[in-house]
């Protein structure tokens, strides 16, 4: 408790001192270098991606080529050319560092070999909330709203503490804060009744702005095979109803209200509601494909905050947000579940009927984040922040202690960016960033994590970067206390572990980037050592609580445990060429993992596979853009992605695969259309053109869940009245400030 007070007091004092220093009127007025960092052509034109402005690595703006921490960007132009149906599709298709498996509950994701819980997903700097079985529901992200995506590997930034051991994905959405009216609709349809609807209405009157978004996503799902794993069934089943990806529908409505009180002060409020249902068809084999409930998620969020710029040398932001992710069974047949009978006794036989729902878990998080960026000197920029977080988990039948557990974490961080040597363009010969983050967790106590990175720019065309950082991640309430049962050809019991220790990591990377004319090549080597890594480990059934041994004939019991050591080591290589009409590029990611747990019974270290990892992943693309005589602009793209075998602890490895995609974009820009403020754009394409389908039987792991060849087409209609709203980010420095919010 004493530490608690010290942390708060220190944070407040430090913050006040820095604020006073930089806001004194006598201070030399040095313009912030975060405005007007270049201008580029319209999005349909070739763009030097390295001239993108990025914010994720340091929380401050840098040109991508000058950012001191290696950052990967998927630009708006790439997104439009690729026509991705979802964030999974986009990240898997456009970078080699990610692997995905869509399944019943959400998306199993990996970034350089580490899974969902080590990847911090931000939407405009705010953390995505909620997980099921450690998987995130990426349906919360409307692909049509994404302006660009920034990816920073490793726990490189002091800003993001917990969760960011593998890295950070920051999804920057398009904003609307200009005068006038915006009405936009994108409708995308594809095979398997894949439907994506994006609708926006935005307006700004004086200092008030509003943006309302509605998105709808639907897919009928697909079944790559109707065969169940013969080794897991009593006879060969070839007519299973189990789907590879289940039918699902989700929709979301979001509202953002902005108020520019004065040039120095902007305020905003946001709220959203999200609904999702995952339909699970029922078959006739009780051991395999009979289902009695669908899955149902309800999310809600609310946030308020603002940005205050007391002087040209300081920006202070405050964000307070609240998120809820509730997960229900939605019964499709009569089902007995754990509950309390009418006399108040615990029972395994509480009945529910079709159409009713039952809460499984409700995760709520409240966060406050106060951050300041201070230009202390032309060469020296300081960021400091205070983050307060409260987690609340209610799972009436899955958590002891009355079904509710909570956790509290506070963090205080400082980061200094320091330029040394002569300045070339917007960067110095040596750009140094150092950060310190002090976390205090109710259970884990205090922990200090240092972060250091540096970039050397010996020539105009060469950037050398080095980073070393420590990460710290406390066990989540779910990892500690949550238990659940899954039926997958046998009963699997998953147990939390109240004795889990926090995880710490040491991440080091070295990279070189060469940019020469229209070429850019980068290579990054990294090592990420995670101590006390928390992962699911299969344990003897007799170690399960007796109640569960008795109630379920357990096939396997899995529990979250700390591994003694784990490390991922790899090389990421990327190159690209971009001309006015042609662009091509590729990336390759080599990964080597080594995880061990001490086996006290045999006095030896036991190797543990980090589920889902593959040694080799690669992707490539070629795009061609051509402006025919007005009004027609055509873009064609070919994309490939490949992975070697993926390794798993149980139920087989996932097969190697390669998948190719053909895309096209069609912009109509006649004077009659553009003069009325209209934008008309169509996209169409074929994914998995060689129809590769992994038909590994159900119950075993797949390399990819791709359904084979699919087609899609989309149409975007946009009406804008008033000043232009969607400027490329490079010319819109104010917009990028908001993205830090």
Partner 1 sequence: MKKIKLFLMAVAATVLSAGFVACSDENAEVSNWQKYQDAVTSKVKAEKKHNKAILLVAFGSTWQQAFDAFDNTLTEYGKKFSGYDVFLSFSSAICINRAAAGENVDPRNFYAPNFWLNAFAAEGIRYDEIVVQSLQVIPGEEYTRVINYIKDFANNANGDLDDEYLSKVVIKLGVPLLQDLSDVSDVATRLHTLYSAKAATDIVAFMGHGNPDSYDTYKANIRYTQLEDSLQVRSDNYFVGTVDMMENFKTHVYARMAAKGLNNGTKKVWLHPLMSIDGDHGHNDMAGDDLPEDIDENNYTFAQLQALANEEGEVEDTSWKRYFGANGSGFTCNNSTMIEKGLLELPSILAVWMNHTQAAIDGEALDYYHSKNPE
* Smallest separation (angstroms) from partner 1 to the CB of 104: 16
Q: Is 734 in the site for partner 1 (CB under 8 A)?
A: no
How many residues belong to the site for partner 1 (CB under 8 A)? 80
Nearer residue to partner 1 within complex by CB, 336 or 420: 336
Stretch binding partner 1 (CB under 8 A), from 179-187, 264-272, 426-434, 662-670: 264-272
Q: Is 31 in the site for partner 1 (CB under 8 A)?
A: no
Q: Is 594 in the site for partner 1 (CB under 8 A)?
A: no
Q: Is 353 in the site for partner 1 (CB under 8 A)?
A: yes
> 522-561: which residues touch partner 1 (CB under 8 A)?
538, 540-542, 546, 549-553, 555
Nearer residue to partner 1 within complex by CB, 542 or 628: 542
Q: Which two tokens stand for residue 82?
A: 């690729």
> 651-710: which residues touch partner 1 (CB under 8 A)?
none
Q: Is 406 in the site for partner 1 (CB under 8 A)?
A: no
Q: Is 357 in the site for partner 1 (CB under 8 A)?
A: yes
Contact 88, 114 (CB under 8 A): no
Q: Is 285 in the site for partner 1 (CB under 8 A)?
A: yes
* Smallest separation (angstroms) from partner 1 to the CB of 337: 7
Distances (CA, A) of 520 to 136, 437, 577: 33, 33, 7
* Smallest separation (angstroms) from partner 1 to the CB of 292: 5
Contact 200, 212 (CB under 8 A): yes
Nearer residue to partner 1 within complex by CB, 207 or 423: 207
Stretch binding partner 1 (CB under 8 A), from 38-46, 89-97, 326-334, 559-567: 326-334
Site string for partner 1, 620-649 (x = CB under 8 A): -----------------------------x
Stretch binding partner 1 (CB under 8 A), from 4-12, 215-223, 601-609, 615-623: 601-609
Spatial neighbors of 576 by CB under 8 A, at least 6 apart, are 49, 519, 520, 583, 584, 585, 586
Spatial neighbors of 610 by CB under 8 A, at least 6 apart, are 113, 114, 115, 535, 566, 568, 593, 595, 647
**Residue where the block lists tokens 């791709």:** 706
Spatial neighbors of 586 by CB under 8 A, at least 6 apart, are 574, 575, 576, 618, 619, 620, 621
Q: Is 176 in the site for partner 1 (CB under 8 A)?
A: no
The single-letter DSSP state of residue 619 is E
Beta-sheet pairing, 346-352 with 335-340: antiparallel
**CA angle, 459 then 424 then 58, to 5°:** 100
Nearer residue to partner 1 within complex by CB, 277 or 291: 291
* Smallest separation (angstroms) from partner 1 to the CB of 335: 5
Nearer residue to partner 1 within complex by CB, 275 or 575: 275
* Smallest separation (angstroms) from partner 1 to the CB of 549: 7
> 476-495: which residues touch partner 1 (CB under 8 A)?
485, 487, 490-491
* Smallest separation (angstroms) from partner 1 to the CB of 367: 15
Stretch binding partner 1 (CB under 8 A), from 100-108, 173-181, 287-295, 433-441: 287-295
Q: Which of 30, 39, 238, 334 binds partner 1 (CB under 8 A)?
A: 334
> 40-69: which residues touch partner 1 (CB under 8 A)?
none
Q: Is 15 in the site for partner 1 (CB under 8 A)?
A: no
Beta-sheet pairing, 71-74 with 119-123: unpaired
Distance of CA 577 to the CA centre of its chain: 27
* Smallest separation (angstroms) from partner 1 to the CB of 600: 8
Stretch binding partner 1 (CB under 8 A), from 215-223, 279-287, 407-415, 517-525: 279-287
> 228-247: which residues touch partner 1 (CB under 8 A)?
231-232, 234-235, 241
Q: Is 273 in the site for partner 1 (CB under 8 A)?
A: yes
631 preceded by a cis bond (ω within 30 of 0): yes
Q: Is 205 in the site for partner 1 (CB under 8 A)?
A: no
Q: Is 602 in the site for partner 1 (CB under 8 A)?
A: yes
- Of 143, 133, 156, nearest to 79 by C-alpha is 143
Nearer residue to partner 1 within complex by CB, 284 or 724: 284
* Smallest separation (angstroms) from partner 1 to the CB of 201: 16
Q: Which of 290, 429, 618, 668 binds partner 1 (CB under 8 A)?
A: 290
Q: How far apart are CA 348 and CA 339, in angstroms?
A: 6
Name the strand (E) or helix (H) holding 2.
Answer: helix 2-23
* Smallest separation (angstroms) from partner 1 to the CB of 672: 38
Q: Which of 286, 402, 422, 517 binds partner 1 (CB under 8 A)?
A: 286
Q: Which of 23, 44, 269, 436 binds partner 1 (CB under 8 A)?
A: 269
Q: Is 510 in the site for partner 1 (CB under 8 A)?
A: no
Quickly count: other Cβ atoms within 10 Å of residue 739's Cβ: 24
* Smallest separation (angstroms) from partner 1 to the CB of 690: 30
Give the DSSP letter string of 36-98: -------TTS---GGG-EE-TTTSS-EEGGG-SS-EEEE-HHHHHHHT-SSHHHHHHHH-SSE
Contact 554, 544 (CB under 8 A): yes
> 297-316: which residues touch partner 1 (CB under 8 A)?
298, 300-302, 304
Q: Which of 43, 185, 197, 292 binds partner 1 (CB under 8 A)?
A: 292
Q: Is 603 in the site for partner 1 (CB under 8 A)?
A: no
Q: Is 21 in the site for partner 1 (CB under 8 A)?
A: no
* Smallest separation (angstroms) from partner 1 to the CB of 479: 21
Distances (CA, A) of 28 to 25, 314, 416, 660, 741: 8, 12, 19, 56, 27
Q: Is 359 in the site for partner 1 (CB under 8 A)?
A: yes
Q: How far apart are CA 596 and CA 614, in angstroms?
A: 17
Distances (CA, A) of 143 to 11, 150, 201, 343, 664: 37, 14, 17, 49, 17
* Smallest separation (angstroms) from partner 1 to the CB of 463: 42
Nearer residue to partner 1 within complex by CB, 262 or 401: 262
Q: Which of 193, 208, 519, 690 binds partner 1 (CB under 8 A)?
A: 208
Beta-sheet pairing, 657-668 with 678-687: antiparallel
Q: Is 203 in the site for partner 1 (CB under 8 A)?
A: no
* Smallest separation (angstroms) from partner 1 to the CB of 552: 7
**CA angle, 138 then 252 then 193, to 5°:** 70
Nearer residue to partner 1 within complex by CB, 187 or 651: 651
The single-letter DSSP state of residue 222 is B
Q: How far apart are CA 376 and CA 382, in angstroms?
A: 7
**Residue where the block lists tokens 């408790």:** 1
**Residue where the block lists tokens 């080590």:** 118
Nearer residue to partner 1 within complex by CB, 255 or 564: 255
Q: Is 333 in the site for partner 1 (CB under 8 A)?
A: yes
Nearer residue to partner 1 within complex by CB, 516 or 607: 607
Q: Is 104 in the site for partner 1 (CB under 8 A)?
A: no
- Of 50, 46, 42, nearest to 72 by C-alpha is 50
> 363-382: which residues touch partner 1 (CB under 8 A)?
364
Spatial neighbors of 60 by CB under 8 A, at least 6 apart, are 34, 373, 381, 383, 417
Contact 521, 514 (CB under 8 A): yes
Nearer residue to partner 1 within complex by CB, 19 or 488: 488
For the purposes of burial, counting CB atoms within 10 Å of the CB of 690, is it exposed (0-12), middle (13-18) or buried (19 or more)?
exposed
């Amino acid at each position: 408790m004493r530490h608690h007070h010290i942390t708060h007091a220190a944070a407040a004092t430090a913050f006040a001192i820095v604020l006073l220093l930089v806001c004194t009127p006598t201070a030399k007025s040095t313009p912030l270098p975060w405005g007007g960092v270049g201008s580029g052509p319209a999005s349909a034109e070739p763009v030097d991606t390295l001239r993108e402005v990025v914010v994720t690595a340091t929380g401050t703006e840098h040109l991508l080529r000058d950012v001191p921490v290696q950052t990967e960007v998927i630009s708006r132009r790439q997104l439009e050319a690729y026509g991705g149906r979802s964030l999974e599709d986009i990240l898997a298709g456009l970078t080699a560092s990610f692997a995905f498996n869509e399944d019943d509950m959400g998306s199993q994701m990996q970034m350089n070999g580490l899974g969902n819980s080590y990847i911090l997903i931000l939407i405009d700097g705010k953390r995505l909330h909620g997980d099921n079985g450690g998987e995130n529901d990426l349906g919360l992200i409307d692909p049509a709203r994404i302006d660009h995506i920034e990816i920073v590997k490793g726990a490189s930034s002091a800003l993001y503490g917990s969760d960011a051991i593998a890295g950070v994905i920051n999804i920057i959405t398009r904003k609307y804060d200009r005068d006038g009216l915006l009405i936009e609709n994108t409708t995308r349809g594809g095979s398997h009744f894949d439907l994506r609807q994006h609708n926006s209405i935005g307006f700004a009157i004086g200092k008030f702005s509003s943006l309302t978004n509605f998105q709808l996503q639907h897919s009928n799902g697909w079944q790559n095979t109707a065969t169940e794993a013969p080794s897991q069934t009593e006879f060969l089943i070839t007519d299973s109803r189990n789907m590879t990806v289940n039918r699902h529908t989700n929709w979301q409505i979001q509202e953002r209200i902005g108020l520019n009180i004065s040039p120095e002060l902007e305020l905003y409020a946001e709220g959203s509601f999200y609904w999702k249902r995952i339909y699970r068809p029922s078959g006739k084999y009780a051991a395999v494909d009979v289902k009695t409930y669908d899955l149902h998620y309800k999310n809600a969020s609310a946030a308020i905050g603002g940005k205050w710029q007391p002087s040209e040398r300081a920006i202070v932001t405050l964000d307070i947000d609240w998120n809820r992710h509730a997960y229900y069974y939605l019964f499709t047949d009569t089902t007995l579940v754990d509950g309390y009978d009418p006399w108040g006794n615990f029972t395994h036989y509480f009945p529910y009927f079709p159409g009713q729902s039952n809460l499984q878990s409700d995760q709520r998080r409240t966060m406050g984040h106060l951050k300041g960026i201070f230009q202390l000197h032309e060469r020296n920029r300081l960021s400091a922040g205070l983050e307060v977080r409260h987690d609340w988990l209610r799972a009436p039948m899955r958590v002891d202690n009355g079904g509710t557990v909570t956790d509290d974490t506070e963090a205080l961080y400082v980061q200094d960016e320091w330029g040394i040597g002569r300045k070339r363009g917007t960067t110095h010969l040596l750009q140094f960033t150092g950060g310190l983050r002090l976390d205090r967790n109710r259970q884990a106590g205090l922990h200090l994590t240092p972060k250091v990175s540096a970039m050397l720019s010996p020539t105009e065309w060469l950037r050398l970067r080095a980073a070393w950082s420590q990460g710290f991640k406390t066990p989540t309430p779910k990892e500690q206390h949550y238990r659940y049962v899954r039926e997958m050809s046998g009963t699997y019991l998953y147990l939390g572990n109240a004795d889990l220790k926090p995880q710490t990591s040491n991440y080091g990377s070295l990279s070189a980037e060469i940019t020469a004319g229209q070429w850019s090549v980068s290579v990054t080597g990294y090592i990420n050592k995670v101590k006390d890594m928390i992962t699911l480990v299969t344990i003897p059934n007799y170690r399960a609580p007796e109640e569960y041994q008795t109630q379920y004939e357990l096939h396997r019991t899995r529990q979250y445990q700390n591994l003694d050591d784990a490390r991922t080591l790899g090389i990421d290589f990327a190159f690209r060429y971009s001309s006015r009409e042609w662009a091509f590029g590729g990336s390759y990611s080599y990964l080597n993992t080594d995880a061990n747990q001490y086996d006290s019974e045999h006095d030896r270290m036991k190797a543990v596979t980090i589920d889902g990892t593959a040694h080799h992943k690669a992707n490539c693309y070629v795009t061609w853009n051509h402006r025919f005589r007005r009004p027609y602009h055509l873009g064609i793209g070919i994309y490939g992605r490949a992975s070697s075998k993926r390794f798993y602890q149980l139920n087989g490895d996932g097969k190697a695969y390669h998948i190719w995609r053909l895309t096209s974009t069609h912009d109509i820009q006649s004077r009659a259309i553009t003069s009325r403020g209209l934008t008309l754009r169509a996209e169409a394409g074929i994914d998995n053109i060689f129809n590769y389908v992994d038909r590994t039987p159900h119950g075993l792991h797949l390399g990819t869940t791709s359904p084979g060849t699919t087609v899609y087409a989309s149409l975007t209609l946009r009406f804008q009245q008033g000043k232009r709203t969607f400027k490329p980010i490079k010319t819109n420095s104010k917009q990028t400030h908001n993205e830090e919010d």
